[in-house]
Structure 1
Amino acid sequence: MAIPVKEENGFRFVDEGQGEVLFLLHGLFGALSNWEGVVSRFSRNFRVVIPMLPIYEMPIREAGLDGLRQFVEDFVSQKKLDNMIIMGNSLGGHIALMYTLKNASKVKKLILTGSSGLFEDSMGGSYPKRGNYQYIKERVSYTFYNPDVATKELIDEVFEITNSIPKCLRIVAIAKSAQRNNMAEEIPNIKTPTLLVWGLNDTITPPMVAHEFNRLIPNSELKFIDKCCHAPMMEHPEAFNEIVENFLLNNTSSK
């Protein structure tokens, strides 16, 4: 499905469906295609909102997690959103955690999948190499249990991003910011009901990271998907959506 992107007051975003707000935060290389399965399933019963994070455009001095959290706060204020269910993948999960800690009253539920915030092996332990298509292909494939999920379209998109010096500078700055920002001491302050959905074969934020999130977040539950790496919503969309739907329909935590 092609997801239409709207523009308003300097923000680019997706806004599909009606009902409770399901607010999605993408990762460092988060293409809209990452969320196709989620938008298709949940826009029937929820208002699915996805802000396009200014990862590749923000001023270099602001290129970091605090700048991205501030962007989300500004966007939420502009759209007058409240009582949100926030879902974040990878870097998006990290931003979701930071946003929730500062704006708990606006967050009804939190869903994290392959989130950074405790530990991550970004890009397989190295930063993107400009102009090397084979390297980018290997790194993108590394994020999936089944490398066939890394379509040529997705690889081409990441290659185009990493082939730009200004974009690369921002990617590296944000990735370093994420690695420096360990949230182990802050995370126990999150009281929001939280679902952790993890790939059992995640090589970037391994299963031990999911268990640590589960231990640290008081009101959390953890679900694993087998034969799945860092982006469960892409690799196993049906299983992922089923787990999420059960969580959204259940008003109490199992922990």
Structure 2
Amino acid sequence: MKSFKSEGNGIPILFISGLFAGDWIWGDVTSYFSKTEYTIIRLREPLSAYGHKISELREMLIQFLNEFIEDKAIVIGNSLGGLLAMDLASSIPKKVAAIVVSCAPGMGSTNLGIGSPKMGSKEESKKWFGDLREKLFVNQQCVTDEQLDLVSEFFSDRRRFLNMIRLAKEADKYDAKLILPKIKCPILLLWGDQDEVSPIEHWKSSIPLNPQIQLKVIENSGHSPMMEKPKEFWKSVESFIKNVLVHHT
């Protein structure tokens, strides 16, 4: 499928980013993975490019897994992508070996504290996303001005902008506590300790809901630890994957 890019030859790992950023958020993390041990699969665009309902995104990803994954994939998602990883593990367990959920919504409403985005000029859009960068990251410099321009340009398209608004509202109402007990595969919750959008404290209460849940917190990082602390993120993910393979082969 044209929406995905793939490299490597091994155990398939599907990386799903969130509403605002494309596959570039995974660049530093995936550079650590051996391309002979793993097949790295990434969605090219932010989720807002592919639909305005979580159910639409789910069906697109299910279609991909059914058509292109022979056995099972490991699914790793950040923010709304993490919510979709949980959704896939529950909806199509025959295709999901394990999931890594990073900084997902689903434990109550979120408040960015910068107001809602408004369709306007590119300058206004860039200002809003600049404010968002300050909210999402401890280290502001891990997102470049060029990447900020990419995001602003992406959401200058009205359809994508409206998709973002509708998906954000739906994610805000999603109750992860209802879906977590239904998941049968191993689950790693991998969080930045300073995530202000979806604080880890809200998720700690979910651990008793499923004996498969493991929790790992990455220090000095916010809502996207795969960008701020890519090596620590990779080490946590690979350790989790190795453990999964030992116990499920």
1:114 equivalent to 2:103? Answer: yes
User: Could you list the per-position Cα deviations for residues 81-139 of structure 1 after superposition, in whole angstroms to 9, with x for gaps in the alignment?
Assistant: 43111101000011111111011121111111111222352644633233312222111
Identity across aligned pairs (percent)? 28
8 Å Cα contact 2:21/2:151 also seen in 1:
no
Q: What displacement does 1:192 show?
A: 0.9
CA RMSD of aligned residues (A): 2.0
8 Å Cα contact 1:193/1:219 also seen in 2:
yes
CA distance 1:120–1:154, change in 2 (3 Å): farther
User: Could you list the per-position Cα deviations for residues 135-164 of structure 1 after superposition, in whole angstroms to 9, with x for gaps in the alignment?
Assistant: 221112311011122210221122112333
| Residue in 1 that maps onto 2:215 | 222
Distance 1:17 1:43 in 2: 8
| Residue in 1 that maps onto 2:242 | 249
Distance 1:214 1:24 in 2: 23
| Residue in 2 that maps onto 1:29 | 20
Q: Specify which of 9, 27, 32 is matched with residue 41 of structure 1.
A: 32
Worse-superposed segment, 140-149 or 229-238: 140-149
Distance 1:122 1:83 in 2: 35
Show structure 1 runs of 5+ residues with no match: 1-7
Distance 1:127 1:43 in 2: 40
CA distance 1:186–1:228, change in 2 (3 Å): same
CA distance 1:223–1:57, change in 2 (3 Å): closer
Structure-to-structure mapping, 1:90-239, within 5 angstroms: 90-119=79-108, 121=110, 123-124=112-113, 126-130=115-119, 131=121, 132=124, 133-239=126-232
Show structure 2 runs of 5+ residues with no match: none
SS at match of 1:42: coil
Q: What displacement does 1:57 show?
A: 4.3
TM-score of the pair, normalised by structure 1: 0.87
| Residue in 2 that maps onto 1:5 | none
Count of matched residue positions in the alignment of Structure 1 and Structure 2? 241
8 Å Cα contact 2:22/2:44 also seen in 1:
no
